[in-house]
Structure 1
Amino acid sequence: MYKIIIFTHGTFSKGLLETSSLILGEQPKIEFFSVELGCDLSNLKDQVSKSLESAKKDQEEVLVLTDLMYGTPFNIMVELQKNYKFHHITGVNLPMLLEAINCRDTGTLAEVAGDIVDVAQNGIVDVQRLLEEMEE
């Protein structure tokens, strides 16, 4: 089972975790971090580093999900990849997180990473177009 870190702007990461818990129940080894207006980014980076260090000591694989490519959480994680080994996927959404949770016991992180991205992308649907195609 790999550890999941959700790292976003504002309260998005907390909301994703709470919503996933509502759907799948409480899950172990999931942490969230948030960049808030005026927060101490150095302290936040240190907190994430401690989480990664803990996983390293426990020899756990880590999946990091960030919200926005080239945003602050993304950039911090890219910096941390110089010192820690983890799998980083950006563009997090709820289907991605649910798939990441559901796949934790089905294989290694390397094996399921592609599936996690596919589910996230396939979860984006233009419903109007879908309904129109169903009527044809």
Structure 2
Amino acid sequence: MNQILLVSHGDLAKGMLQTVSMLIGELDNIYAFSSYRDDENALLYRINEKIKTFNKSDEIYILTDIFGGSVNNEVLTLLNQPNITLIAGMNLGLVVGIATQADKINESELDRIIQESQQGIINCNAFLAKEMNKEGDDL
């Protein structure tokens, strides 16, 4: 089974989980972890405690908010486990893309999901201006 851990600064991960649940329904394999400046329980400790509840055969996808941020850097220490994949730059398209996969995601499929999630980031002003110039009409 695929297990998904959403990890962020502040409440981004919790909001992402709530939004994904609204779009595709409640899933029992997605978990949110938030990091705060005054945390009493260390983020890595809480993540490790959750990972201990998974089956050894589970694939674990950890999605963090920003590459190079403190949350991402902390989670990097878990990459010594072969069943963990860490992806930085989480967005809704990425979470939905991974959450809708029932089986282990092979490298090319994961690359496709990541590319599709990146393509969902669009400057709408520039897009509309380009389309208007192309068609010569108002939209």
TM-score by length of 2: 0.85
Query: Residue 15 in 1 paired to residue 12 in 2?
Result: no
For the pair shown, the structure with the greater C-alpha radius of gyration is 2
Q: What is residue 101 of structure 1 aligned with on the other side?
A: 99
User: C-alpha offsets along residues 111-135 of structure 1, whole Å, 9 cap, x if unaligned?
Assistant: 4311221122101111112112222
For residue 109 of structure 1, report the CA deviation from its aligned partner.
Answer: 2.0
Aligned-pair identity in percent equals 24
Unaligned segments of structure 1, at least 5 residues: none
Q: In the alignment, is the contact (CA less than 8 A) between 1:63 and 1:86 conserved in 2?
A: yes
Which of 56, 69, 72 is the aligned partner of 1:71?
69
Unaligned segments of structure 2, at least 5 residues: 135-139
Which of 92, 96, 110 is the aligned partner of 1:113?
110
Q: In the alignment, is the contact (CA less than 8 A) between 2:63 and 2:89 conserved in 1?
A: yes
Which of 75, 78, 83 is the aligned partner of 1:85?
83
For residue 18 of structure 1, report the CA deviation from its aligned partner.
Answer: 0.2
Q: What is residue 40 of structure 2 aligned with on the other side?
A: 40
Which structure: greater helix fraction? 1
TM-score by length of 1: 0.87
- The total of aligned residue pairs comes to 132
